[in-house]
Structure 1
Amino acid sequence: MSTDFQQAREALGLRLRELRLSAPGGRLTGTQLAQRLGWPHSKIYKLEGGKQTATSEDLRAWAEGVGQPGAFEELEARLKGFESHIRSWRRQLAAGHRPVQDSWNIEVARSTAIYAWEESVIPGMLQTADYARHIFLRYAELQGSVRDTDAAVRARMRRQEWLYEAGRRFHALVWEAALHALICPPSVLSNQLDRLTGVIGMDTVELGIIPLATSLRIPAANGFWVLDDRLVIAEDWHAELWLDDAESVTTYMRVWKTLRQSAVYGTEAHNMINRTRRSIAGPR
């Protein structure tokens, strides 16, 4: 977990403890506050110790429970401050995948140049609707989230209109493993690979494939996207990281450029995709 995120969570916990100890009717013990709120005793100390992330509802209940309802706005502002950078999937997907896609669409629309690295899936900007549908279904199953699959697919497909606007440039790097990953039926993956060969040569798309057998200057890690020089979105199993500080943007761009040195483009990339497609189709 991010050190900055954990520090912010611990700072919020200290503030919660201060409010408990300065309750207008006299300081409350953790047990007393837990009884007031109908919570397990352990939740009080997990929140105060930065071991658990509070929800907005938790903070409102806490402020009211310690007799200081006016403190809620301050507490919520602290929560939103660090959650703007660490966006947990549990919270993001509470209303399904569509809202997440809408947030992405807003940021993509603001961008002129996008640099993407994906090690295990085809980048969303280049996905077919069928491929995207299977991706959303897999993640909905994993996270136990709302299945708004069709709405999420439509939102992702709308984002791809960006590729057909003059002045845009999408620089995509994909590890060869992503071409083979059967996260969907073989027929869907075959059509997806057709889509990839179709974007090679577009003046708004630069697609590089990193062969599995090539020498890597750094390990291939989780996927990430750099939008212009202002924002990095990196994905992990528990959350998305939205990083907008200059140092992080510079670091991720350095990683992207290092990975790029191992990629093949144009005809070589086209041939690699076609070989993979033929292997999926099998002998005729």
Structure 2
Amino acid sequence: MSTDFQQAREALGARLRELRLSARGGRLTGTQLAQHLGWPHSKVYKLEGGRQTATSDDLRAWADAVGHPDAFEELDARLKGFESHIRSWRRQLAAGHRPVQDSWNVEVSRTRVIRAWEESVIPGMLQTADYARAIFLRYANLHGTTRDTDEAVRSRLRRQEWLYEAGHRFCALVWEAALHALVCSPSVLAAQLDRLAGVVGMDTVELGVIPLGASLKVPTANAFWVLDDRLVITEDWHAELWLDDADSIATYLRVWNVLRESAVFGADAQNVIHRARHALNTR
């Protein structure tokens, strides 16, 4: 998680500890507070140490238990300030694209199941080097950032090694429009589509394609990734948004499952990819 986010979580933890030590009925140990709340004692120490994100209910229970119910509004305001963390592209890309890819690699390395939705590009975990290079160059031009393209590509491709490790599962949904988008040269897109068709059937990959003519229960909207039901990463033109609160994660999982209902898989997905490949040949 980002330094800003972790510092905010640690600051909230320090405030919780302060309230515990100044409890109205006399200072409480972590074990005593845990027993009073019916929590594992480890939860108290994780919250105070900034190693776990509190929920609003956790904060209300804590404030009541230590005899400071009036502190709840302050605690909840702190929580709402960091449960969704905006990582602006201006700040993130100041040193180029490679550091951003390295941050992603850290999060992916401690994840077992990834659910991804991409509406306009091929998911990074399945990109060829040339396709990834074209994407990075497009965004470097847009944001006027450092051109560390080769380093960024190498970092993204290292992340793909995750796909070949036992116990991992990459569940990707892609809108058919992404198969036709010429964000690169036709020859690079052709090779990318061949790569995409080749991953269908991999033990660690479930690839679903939503055909352009499919009935949609929700608009396609922005791309997003859900890592192990603990973190959602989504992005817009100005920033990347990291969400780890339970409500947001549940919302994105619900959206992903609804989108999945419109997707085709296996041989049907390959047919959609092959049609896009054939259309590319006839341009």
Instruction: Tell me, yes or no, whether TM beats 0.5.
Output: yes
For residues 201 and 227 of structure 1, the distance between their equivalents in structure 2, rounded to whole angstroms, comes to 21
CA-based RMSD of the aligned residues comes to 1.8
For residues 84 and 245 of structure 1, the distance between their equivalents in structure 2, rounded to whole angstroms, comes to 7
Matches within 5 A, 1:50-129: 82=82, 85-129=85-129
How much does 1:278 deviate? 1.1
The ranges of structure 1 where at least 4 consecutive aligned residues each deviate by more than 6 angstroms after the TM superposition are: none
SS at match of 1:85: strand
Unaligned runs of at least 5 residues, structure 1:
9-77
For residues 189 and 134 of structure 2, the distance between their equivalents in structure 1, rounded to whole angstroms, comes to 10
> Does residue 146 of the first structure (1) align with residue 146 of the second (2)?
yes
> Does residue 158 of the first structure (1) align with residue 130 of the second (2)?
no
For residues 198 and 154 of structure 2, the distance between their equivalents in structure 1, rounded to whole angstroms, comes to 21
Match of 2:207 in 1: 207
Match of 1:247 in 2: 247
How much does 1:281 deviate? 1.3
How much does 1:82 deviate? 4.5
For residues 96 and 84 of structure 1, the distance between their equivalents in structure 2, rounded to whole angstroms, comes to 24
How many aligned residue pairs are there?
Answer: 206
Matches within 5 A, 1:41-52: none
Match of 2:186 in 1: 186
* 1:68-100 Cα distance to aligned partner (Å, 9 max, x none): xxxxxxxxxx9xx74981000000000000000
Match of 2:265 in 1: 265
For residues 161 and 98 of structure 1, the distance between their equivalents in structure 2, rounded to whole angstroms, comes to 17
TM-score, normalised with respect to structure 2: 0.71
For residues 168 and 190 of structure 2, the distance between their equivalents in structure 1, rounded to whole angstroms, comes to 27
Match of 2:167 in 1: 167
CA 1:132/1:225 → structure 2, altered by over 3 Å: closer, same or farther?
A: same
SS at match of 2:221: coil
TM-score, normalised with respect to structure 1: 0.70
For residues 278 and 216 of structure 1, the distance between their equivalents in structure 2, rounded to whole angstroms, comes to 25
- Percent identity between the aligned chains? 76
CA 1:142/1:83 → structure 2, altered by over 3 Å: closer, same or farther?
A: farther
* 1:30-69 Cα distance to aligned partner (Å, 9 max, x none): xxxxxxxxxxxxxxxxxxxxxxxxxxxxxxxxxxxxxxxx
* 1:247-280 Cα distance to aligned partner (Å, 9 max, x none): 1111100000000000000001001101110110
Unaligned runs of at least 5 residues, structure 2:
9-77
